[in-house]
Amino acid sequence: MKNLILQYWTGSMPEWARLAMESIKLYAREIGADYELVSGWPLGEFRGVVSQKVCLIMEKYDVYDNVLMLDTDMVYTGIADDCFKYEGIGRLHLKAMSSKEKTKQGRYWPNLYKVNEPLFFGNFVKLTREQRVALRPFLPSEQFILENKSDPSLSRFNTSMPPNDEQTLHYMFHQSGVLKNMSSLMVPHDRFCDLPEESHKKATLMHFCNDRKNNIISYIQGQHQLKIL
């Protein structure tokens, strides 16, 4: 099996992101996966920054059996369990799936939302080649994106935004039906996707989102086995 781990960043990179990225590069080496840091606008600037992570479906990656897209605030703990051994996409956002009124996904972009259909947190998304190929025809077009930006009145920044990566993939999943016959949609998320305070004591990857980013440098400094400083 040939596997790839992707991350996306554009612009200058803070130290916490650099160290977190180096930890993921180390993880990729230890499990025998390739690694690539993507930058710029691989899917077009009209999609916005966050949705560039959907580039994992691009044809250029069809040489890989599996492709994993990780946020840059994901950190490797030094426990090298191979996530590619496990079936599943990532961690389902169950609250967001339950009702469009309960989540910005449905409120901001109602034309892309479908209740109870798979919607995954964007920090960890792992897709097989077959899934990526099946999803590709359903990538929203530029016209569709322009017509379905968020309602400016709902944004704390009072500006319209293109659908993010989570909502874009959610739309592509329910339009394609590619996940209908999967027996397990979630990986063991306490070992690969969760916040530090939620994770298994032997977790392999942890998600230092929001203010937790401030803890990444000290965490990595304390993980001497990582040897990336």
pLDDT in tens, 5-14: 999 999 999 9
* Structural domain for 173, as ranges: 3-226
How many domains does the chain fold into?
Answer: 1
Rounded CA separation 104/102 (Å) = 7
Q: Are 140 and 152 in contact (CB under 8 A)?
A: no
- Asked if pLDDT for residue 227 goes beyond 80, the answer is no
- pLDDT at position 229: 62
* Tens digits of residue pLDDT in 88-137: 999 999 999 998 887 888 889 999 999 999 999 999 999 999 999 999 99
Q: Are 5 and 70 in contact (CB under 8 A)?
A: yes
Q: What is the DSSP letter of 186?
A: B
Rounded CA separation 177/137 (Å) = 12
* Tens digits of residue pLDDT in 31-90: 999 999 999 999 999 999 999 999 999 999 999 999 999 999 999 999 999 999 999 999
Dihedral of CA atoms 176, 60, 64, 203 in degrees, nearest 10, equals: -80
Rounded CA separation 153/72 (Å) = 29
* Tens digits of residue pLDDT in 132-180: 999 999 999 999 999 999 888 877 777 899 999 999 999 999 999 999 9
Q: CATH code at 154?
A: 3.90.550
- Asked if pLDDT for residue 181 goes beyond 90, the answer is no
Radius of gyration of the chain (CA): 17
- pLDDT at position 205: 98
